[in-house]
Every structure is written in structure tokens, then in C-alpha cells.
Amino acid sequence: MNLISDEKVRDVSRKRGTSENQALTADFAKQICAELDAAAYLTGIVVYADAEYTVQLDVNRCKGGSRIADSRGSAPREELLIHQLGVAAVQLREELGEDAGSLQKFDTPLERATSPMPSALKAYADARKVLREQGDLAAVPYYRKAVEADSRFAVARSGLAVSLYNLNQLDEAAESIRQAFEAADRQTARERLNISTLYYDMAQGDVEKAIEGYQEYIRIYPRDDVALGNLSSEYFVIGEYEQAAKYSAAALKINPDAAAWYENYSTALLALDHPEEAERVLKEAFARKLDDASLHANIYSIAFLRTDQAGMRQQLDWAEGKPGGDSLVAAQSDTEAYFGHLQNARQLTRKAIYMAKSAELPESAATWSAEAAMREAVLGYPKEARELVHEALQFAPHSKDVRALAAVVYARIGDEQDARAIAGDLQALYPANIAIQKAWLPMIRAQLAMNKRNYEEGLQELRVVSPYERGQLTGNVSDSCMMPVFLRGESLLALNKSADAVTEFQKIESSPGLVVNCWSGSLAKLGMARADAQLGAKTDAKLWYEKVASLWAGADADIPVVKQANLELSKIH
């Protein structure tokens, strides 16, 4: 037997032209039963009379309305009502046919599975409702209220962790899921499975263990879209987009009203260079009245790939004043930088940072700052990069993702002591984190080796990263600059291994749906030009240089990389 999701109920209510918040009374439940393909509906009532609370639960068949199960419980005090509700629920499960072994095995008292404190439970219920109606940002204060009232309320802690994660507040999300994980006695067996997997995923960053956990979760609960969808998320980190698409599509099939799975599926399709399919998926989401900044960000990416200025502008207009709008402004900033409009890019980065800070999303502000710092570094502005990275570390001093990116920036601009200090911390603090240990640390070490012209050593470091080189390595940020590939290309170029360098830069060039408007997209073209020039393939080199020149036709005149590229083009003429 399955419980119909509230999202599905809202969808049917909307289609019937009734309010999405229409109370699910027995009458209304009976009316919409057939449309929801439900066999029965459960309703309840709680009253206070004669100095006690009484709860009555009834299950009626949709067809004919006959009662097939009922139970009741009473409690002298409100604190005891939650326990009695749990007892009544067990009685219902029994009447509905659940076997004794299962009832005994899955028997966490409700006050432990949730909270014995009505105020905490109320705040949690409010969080769930607000989450469905308004999204993660609006839900966070309610989750916080729930865990303030009951600090060991595990389900509320895990809900808070997931919302924070979706808002790119990864450090706080990790702490929240750790606390949920530690409250092992305060969760059902099913929630334990969910929380422990999320713990390996968000707190430990142990992708392999998280994948194993989600697969086990799916084996036990094959019709749970959360397990399928969250599993898809893991595959983004390690760059396995076929798997990401497969599991997000499966999650979507079960729950076509979850905006998160539209984001995951469309992002995977984009990464696999299927923008038309991605667009179709996104249109389905909008047709269902689902809305989220991430969906608009993907539409923006598709418009970018089609050089559809009006389409991009439409999404940016949508972002004004919207929750999550900072991510679109940050994307616009990347686009400006991609075309060499660095002054505009800098202004937009300031705007994205301001928006994130205003929404009390410090780690997002730090991410935009650190990503802009990386851009400045590769375009030849170490001073600006240093300032931005300092700022990023002030916004989110404990964020592993921000610190990892900061260390690469420091290494790139030659602030080697700072880079090594952060790398040392990350190595010690996150021993099981795949992205840190197998991607970020090797990249930092590779860049440090490259600074000393030890390119072979750099390439050796980057070999470890190969399986993850297409991964979306920065937490919940759905883009990949394929930085390990770019560094490898640069090293090979420096070693005059031109054909191998072409291979690396070509990987970036042939992944437009993954790289989208990242700085590495434009610089890979320059890499192709240089590698071809080194090979003596003058015609090809000229073609690539001209592509770069066309891309940077309106670029700010003083950008060192742009000036150098123009100089190289003039020489090849």
C-alpha cells in the first residue's frame, strides 16, 4: 500500500480548480479518491472533552465509502497525545493487514520517531507545508524553530539539512545531518536508512558509501522517489551523468510533482549534451506550476548554448527579487566573463554576493566570490583574485567547498603558503570525502607543481582525478569547469606534448552542456589554438585563434590573456 503524496493531491486539486490548500475532509477526500487512484482514504479527528484528548482515525474505501479500519486513543495531557496517536496508527496498520513481524520490527514510538513536544512537531509540520508551497528558503526558519524546541528531533534536523544543502549552505547542512545521525534513537528504521545515507553523502562526502546506502534504501523501498532522486545527485559529484539521468528519471516517474527531480534530470540531460530533451523536461515542470531558481538557471544555460540573448534575459528578469535569484546573477556574471566583459562580470558578482547575503545565504555569497576569484586568477588578475578569495573565506570560513576552491586560487596566483595551509586542513578534516581527496587536493598539488614548472609531477597528481574530471565538484553548484582537464591541458602544452594537449582541451570543447559559460570554455579554445600552433598545424591554429578573437571581440581591452591571445593571432598571420 502506498500513501499518496501531498504534491499529487495539490496537483489534482489544482486541475479541479479548487484551492491547493483545500482541507482534505472526508467528503473532499472521497471526491478526489478516483482521480488519485487511491483505494481508500484516512481521516481523523481530535477533540478535548472531559479533561482528556481523544483522537479517532477512520479508513474508508473510496468506492462506496465503507469503513475498513478504525482506531482511537485518548490522553489526559497534550504531551501524551502524540504517543496515543502512534498507538492508534499501529492499530490501523494491523487492521489494514500488516503482519505481526513487521509491526514488531517497525515499532518506534511516535513521540520518538517525531517529537514528544507539540510545539516542535507543529513547527516541523509548518516547515513541511511551507516547503511544499514556497520552497527551501522559506522552510528553513520553521525547521530551525522545530530543532530549537527539540534539539534531538532527528527528522526535523534531516529536513533542515536537506533544505540548507539545496540552498548551497553545505557546511551548516553537514552539521545538521551529523546531529540527526547522532540521534539514532529518535528515528524510525526507514528514516534511519535515509539519515545515515544522507550523513555519508552530505557530512562525510563519501560518495561510494552514499551510493551503496541509497541502493540499499531503494532495494527496501523501491517506490520511494527520495532514495532514487538522492542517488541521482551522487552521480553528479563523480560525473556519471548517464546514471544521474537514469535515477532522476526514475524518481520523476514516481513523483512527477517534485521540482528537485526536474532539476536533476534536466541538468543530467544538459551534461549529456541533450539540450532539447532538457528543455522538454523543464517545460513539463513549468506546466505543473513548479518553480525554482534552479529550473530557470537550466533554461538560462540552454539559452546560452543557443546564443539566445532574449531567452537569457527572460530568465534574468525572472530572477529579480526571487529566492535563489543570486545563482542566475552569478551565471550572468560568468557569461560576461566568458566574453571578456570583465568589468560587467565584476559588477554582477558583487550583485550576486549582495543578493545571497541579503537572503542570509553566506556560503552562496562565498561561492560566488571564490568562483569569481578563480576567473580573475586564470584571466591574469592575481590581486583581484586574492581580494575575492579573502572575502569568500570571511563569508564562509568553515566551508570545505569554498576552502577547496580558495586553495586552488591561492596556488594559481602563487600564494603557496595559504594554498598549502588549506590543503593540509582539508586533508586532515575530510579523510573520506571523495571530491576533496581525489579531486581538489590533487588539483591543488598539481597547480603548485606547475608553478615550479614540474609539469610531469603535476600530470601525475592529476591522474588520480581522471575518473572524476567531469564531476560537479563544488557541493550543490550544478556546473563543472572541468578544471582538472584544463590544468592537464596546460601542463601538456608546457611540455610540448601538443597532440595530448589537444585531446584534453577538446574534452572541454566537446562538453558544452557541462561547461556552459565557465571560463574554461573560452580558455580551452585558446588552448586548442596554442596546441595546434605548437603542432605546426597553422590553419587549424588560425581557425581557433579566430574563434577566440571573435568570442572576445568586445572584450575589455586590458585583460592580459586577451591581449596575449591577440598578439599570438597577429604573429600567426
Partner 1 sequence: MKRASLPGPILMKRVYRFVLLVLACATSFAFWRMRRTVPLEDTDSLLLGEVSNRSGEAIFDESLREALRIALSQ
Minimum distance of partner 1 from residue 284's CB (angstroms): 16
Q: Cell numbers at residue 459, please? A: 600530470
Minimum distance of partner 1 from residue 8's CB (angstroms): 9
Q: Is 69 helix (H, G, I), strand (E, B) or coil?
A: strand
* Count of other CB atoms within 10 angstroms of residue 346: 20
Cα 291 → chain centroid:
15
User: 395 and 362 in contact (C-beta within 8 Å)?
Assistant: yes
Whose Cβ is closer to partner 1: residue 190's or residue 420's?
190
Question: Which secondary-structure segment (H or E) carries 482?
Answer: none
Q: Cell numbers at residue 327, please? A: 545563482
Whose Cβ is closer to partner 1: residue 188's or residue 522's?
188
Whose Cβ is closer to partner 1: residue 193's or residue 392's?
193
- 310: alpha, beta or left? (left if phi > 0; alpha if psi -120 to 50): alpha
Minimum distance of partner 1 from residue 63's CB (angstroms): 10
Whose Cβ is closer to partner 1: residue 117's or residue 464's?
117
Instruction: Round to whole Å and give the CA distance between 216 and 483.
Output: 33
In one letter, which amino acid is 198? L
Minimum distance of partner 1 from residue 470's CB (angstroms): 14
Whose Cβ is closer to partner 1: residue 85's or residue 299's?
85
Instruction: Round to whole Å and give the CA distance between 386 and 409.
Output: 8
Minimum distance of partner 1 from residue 222's CB (angstroms): 7
User: 406 and 393 in contact (C-beta within 8 Å)?
Assistant: yes
Minimum distance of partner 1 from residue 180's CB (angstroms): 10
Minimum distance of partner 1 from residue 207's CB (angstroms): 12
- The closest alpha carbon to 430, from 403, 395, 462, 392, belongs to 403
Whose Cβ is closer to partner 1: residue 43's or residue 451's?
43
Instruction: Round to whole Å and give the CA distance between 253 and 261.
Output: 9
Instruction: Round to whole Å and give the CA distance between 461 and 411.
Output: 14
Minimum distance of partner 1 from residue 365's CB (angstroms): 20
Minimum distance of partner 1 from residue 169's CB (angstroms): 13
Helices marked H in 96-204: 100-105, 110-113, 118-134, 136-149, 154-166, 170-182, 189-198
User: What sign has the CA pseudo-torsion 506, 507, 511, 517?
Assistant: negative
Place of cell 591574469: 380
Whose Cβ is closer to partner 1: residue 233's or residue 364's?
233
Question: Which secondary-structure segment (H or E) carries 47?
Answer: strand 40-49
User: 123 and 142 in contact (C-beta within 8 Å)?
Assistant: yes
What is the Cα Rg of the chain in Å?
A: 27
Whose Cβ is closer to partner 1: residue 43's or residue 454's?
43
- The closest alpha carbon to 213, from 104, 169, 202, 262, belongs to 202
Helices marked H in 272-379: 275-287, 293-305, 309-319, 325-338, 342-358, 362-379
Question: Mapped to the 3 state alphabet, what secondary structure does 201-248 carry?
Answer: HHHHCCHHHHHHHHHHHHHHCCCCHHHHHHHHHHHHHCCCHHHHHHHH
Whose Cβ is closer to partner 1: residue 86's or residue 484's?
86
Whose Cβ is closer to partner 1: residue 162's or residue 402's?
162
Minimum distance of partner 1 from residue 464's CB (angstroms): 23
Instruction: Round to whole Å and give the CA distance between 180 and 173.
Output: 11
Whose Cβ is closer to partner 1: residue 5's or residue 566's?
5
Whose Cβ is closer to partner 1: residue 37's or residue 456's?
37
Whose Cβ is closer to partner 1: residue 86's or residue 521's?
86
Q: Write phi, then psi, for 453 (nearest 5 degrees).
A: 65, 20
Whose Cβ is closer to partner 1: residue 1's or residue 287's?
1
As a residue count, the chain comes to 573
Instruction: Round to whole Å and give the CA distance between 339 and 414.
Output: 26
Whose Cβ is closer to partner 1: residue 212's or residue 456's?
212
Q: Cell numbers at residue 321, please? A: 527579487
* Count of other CB atoms within 10 angstroms of residue 238: 23
CA angle 314, 318, 321 (to 5 degrees): 145
* Residue 320 to residues 325, 326, 331, 341, Cα–Cα distance (Å): 6, 9, 13, 21
